[in-house]
Amino acid sequence: MKEQLEKLVLQMYRSGIQYAEAVRQFQSVFIITVLREQRANQVRAAQKLGMHRNTLRRIIRNFELDIRPLRPSTRRPPLSERAVPVQTKAAGLGSVPVKITQGARIFHRQLGA
């Protein structure tokens, strides 16, 4: 790995890239790689990188990194649109899924009473 890194550094040096830009490029690629491995979860990525999550967020913002493509394509629906199981007291009936809509109140009643 050290050999590959040395070749890359030599290639960057010969192409005229300044030190600050080389460090910035390395940091960007390193952070994007860790974020990809953590499925864009910034808290877990920050832990793997050994930094505070706010530091990682600041770096993402300062480097103008777009992490949206790293996020999984399927996201959980908001709480207002999820079916929530409601526990019933009647034996053997299990739970009944209820769709909660925003602003709606859910009233529980015993089944079979």
pLDDT for 44-94, tens place per residue? Answer: 999 999 999 999 999 999 999 998 888 877 777 788 888 777 666 655 555
> What is the pLDDT, as a whole number, of residue 107?
47
Q: What is the CATH number of domain 2-70?
A: 1.10.10.60
Nearest to 108 by CA among 83, 92, 86: 86
- Residues 14-43, mean pLDDT to the nearest whole number: 93
DSSP type of residue 39: T
Considering the chain, tell me which residue range(s) the CATH 1.10.10.60 domain(s) occupy.
2-70
Q: Is 53 exposed, middle or buried (0-12, 13-18, 19+ CB in 10 A)?
A: middle
